[in-house]
Copies of this chain bind each other. A is one copy, B any other.
Amino acid sequence: MNCIVFEPDEVPAPTPAAVELRGRRARHVIQVLRAQPGQRVRVGILGGLLGHAVVASVSEEKVALESIELDTEPPAAIPVTLCVALPRPKSLRRVLHAATTLGVKRIVLMESWRVDKSYWQSPLLAPEAIHSVLRLGLEQAVDTILPTVEVKRRFRPFVEDEVPALIRDTTAVVAHPGAADSMPAEMPGPMTLFVGPDRGFTPFEIDLLASTGVSARCLGSRVLRVDEAVPALLGRLLPGSSGS
């Protein structure tokens, strides 16, 4: 946690003077940051500004923050919409965290032939469970803007009816080991990135995506696990010097 991100309803006003933390974030400040009264910590409000606060007091399981100053815009988003075949739950958590940390603001979890049907029953798909993973990603990245997460349970209607509008005015690519062309790097403009399940999209799925204008691109000849492919691809696409 590189930043304490408050929910808007946790703070008494848009620019609160003081806030009290309990639970996970208090324990983090106490045990990991080992914060002492007087120490400055980074804070932010979900959907709002970033800034700093001063630790007023630390007691067992409770941290009081004061002198909150919110004065910094959250960092730029990466201009990538990520459409990923629903991974197994353990991997889903990592994919959501990595995408959030790397600055993706729109995530689509989609069906694919090789997505195990049981994955759709994962408790991690509950909105509050997704929210808590996304917030951890924001706390890691020092950001306050949550990504949206959409769920598309039927492959063909999604690709045929929604993808054409989704990819409009973007460079649309699907990561596919064995594709003839390489995944580009440092994309200057908006992109839509499709990532299949661990065993890959089927040839039919790749063809259907291609028919809407999504090009298959490989990242070397290696087969990556989805939770490693997503940060590898996003790190590659991240624009150059504009990011900092």
Contacts of A75 in B (CB 8 A): 220-222
Complex Cα distance, B234 from A65, in Å, reads 39
Of residues 217 through 244 on chain A, the ones whose CB sits less than 8 Å from some CB of chain B are 218-225, 228-229, 231-236, 238-241, 243-244
Verify if A209 is at the interface (C-beta below 8 Å from B). no
Verify if A207 is at the interface (C-beta below 8 Å from B). no
- Which interface class (under 10, 10 to 19, 20 to 34, 35 or more) fits A? 35 or more
Q: Decide: B182 and A243 in contact? CB cutoff 8 A.
A: yes
- Given the interface pairs A220-B78, A243-B220, the reply to whether A228 lies near B102 with Cβ below 8 Å is yes
Contacts of A235 in B (CB 8 A): 219, 229, 231-236
Q: Decide: B140 and A223 in contact? CB cutoff 8 A.
A: yes
- Given the interface pairs A140-B224, A140-B225, the reply to whether A244 lies near B180 with Cβ below 8 Å is yes
Verify if A2 is at the interface (C-beta below 8 Å from B). yes
Contacts of A231 in B (CB 8 A): 224, 228-229, 231-232, 235
Distance from A22 Cβ to chain B, minimum over Cβ atoms (Å): 24
Contacts of A221 in B (CB 8 A): 75-76, 243-244
> A220-B244, A221-B244, A224-B231 given. 20 additional CB < 8 A pairs?
A75-B220, A75-B221, A75-B222, A76-B221, A78-B220, A98-B232, A101-B222, A101-B224, A140-B223, A141-B222, A142-B223, A143-B222, A182-B240, A182-B241, A185-B186, A218-B243, A232-B232, A232-B235, A232-B238, A234-B235
